[in-house]
Amino acid sequence: MSTRVLLVDDHPVVRAGLRAVLEGLPDISVVAEARDALSAQQRSRHHDIDVVVMDIQMGPGPTGIDATRAIRAAGGPPVLILTTYDAQSDILSALEAGATGYLLKDAPEETLRQAVLDAAANRPVLSPQVTAQLVMRTTKPASALSPREIEILKLAATGASNRNMAKQLFISEATVKTHLVHVYNKLDVDNRTAAINRAREQRII
């Protein structure tokens, strides 16, 4: 019996391409598609889905990570993230949300096939690039940014002020400043712009 896939991506052309690839692989069939996080959550409630293949960024509204968290919290099928994003912040957020695997879209077809089958069987799946990011974080724990520090750095990269970040995160401006100081120390920089650039260079954000 084929592994039944719910394919989630906001770009119709990308969905069509992925469907063609997946349908051409042995033991896999795409039984449903969704173009956003909310429709993915709704469709995943059906009992004919073995695994959800999910992108991260899907335009305005909830992300693929939000959908993954909701699907897993509701006892839904395993989720395999299939995306072009390999930043530590995305990887960590996806895994914390309950994703069973994280694969990049440039993966070879046989790697994709095995990842879908493994994820459907609740076996963890990580692409070599993702594994390298996690190993880097593990082997350099003193310099690894905490989830909150990454969150603040991502907001800073949008141009948000300390006051705006404090409001969005429901913390004080003093706490924001403290987190930024820790970020600067860990990244060996002395200002916000340099921190953002360094974090992008190291694929942290």
CATH of the domain at 169: 1.10.10.10
61-102 per-position pLDDT tens digit: 899 999 999 999 999 999 999 998 877 778 888 988 999 999
Number of structural domains, the chain? 2
- Dihedral angle at the C-alpha atoms of 124, 128, 132, 135, nearest 10 degrees? 30
Q: Give SS3 for 101.
A: strand
* 156 in the same domain as 72: no
Q: Look at residues 136, 157, 183 and tell me which one is the last residue of a structural domain.
A: 136
* 186 in the same domain as 94: no
Q: Is the pTM of this model over 0.75?
A: no
Q: Look at residues 111, 136, 161 and tell me which one is the last residue of a structural domain.
A: 136
Band the pLDDT of 143: cuts 50, 70, 90.
low
Domain with 9 in it: what CATH number? 3.40.50.2300
Residue ranges making up the domain that contains 75: 3-136
* 12 in the same domain as 110: yes
